[in-house]
Amino acid sequence: MDPGREADFRQFVIDRSGALFRTAYLLTGDRHAAEELVKTALVKTAVKWRGLRDPAALEGYVRRVMYHEQVSRWRRRSRVTEVSAGWLPEQIGDGHAETADLRLVMRDALARLTPRQRTMLVLRYFEDLSETEIARLLGVRVGSVRSQIYRSLERLKKAAPELSTVRESG
């Protein structure tokens, strides 16, 4: 990689690694697995960096690499229920004290989902992708995405019934 492109890549990593890590944490539910996922995605992106021209598409490319890598991981892994008591990568600042309990409940509930279920919910509700986009991204049918999201939400409701009292803002 030439020095100019390398400097661009370094700056991209500095600017966007926090946001990428938050998404990776939501996908994996574990700090160390999230760090590994981001690192893997950035290494794969660095290899292709020379051919990536559109600055607006760079982060999308890295995120797609993360999604595909995470899907590969949960497809390889046998069905094991994960429970993580790890650290939540979001700092709670002024004005957020009233939502701290809710965030902890949500974190614990997400940790009770399978990696596949957590991935589907993160892509749908955190990344705001449509079911069609998720299906295309993960290489599955739209019906599979719909049923997986439905089952994931049902499991989330059972894991944390107190979340049912929360209404979406908007």
Residues whose CB falls within 8 Å of the CB of residue 151, separated by 6 or more in sequence, listed in order:
117
Task: At 116, list the tokens.
Answer: 């596949």
pLDDT tens for each residue of 85-104? 454 445 444 445 556 667 77
Residues whose CB falls within 8 Å of the CB of residue 127, separated by 6 or more in sequence, listed in order:
23, 63
pLDDT tens for each residue of 116-164? 888 888 889 888 889 999 998 888 899 999 999 999 998 888 888 877 7
Using DSSP, how many helices (H) and how many strands (E) does the chain show?
7, 0
Topology of domain 3-165, per CATH?
Butyryl-CoA Dehydrogenase, subunit A; domain 3 (1.20.140)
pLDDT tens for each residue of 36-79? 999 999 988 888 777 776 666 788 888 889 988 888 877 766 44
Domain boundaries in the chain? 3-165
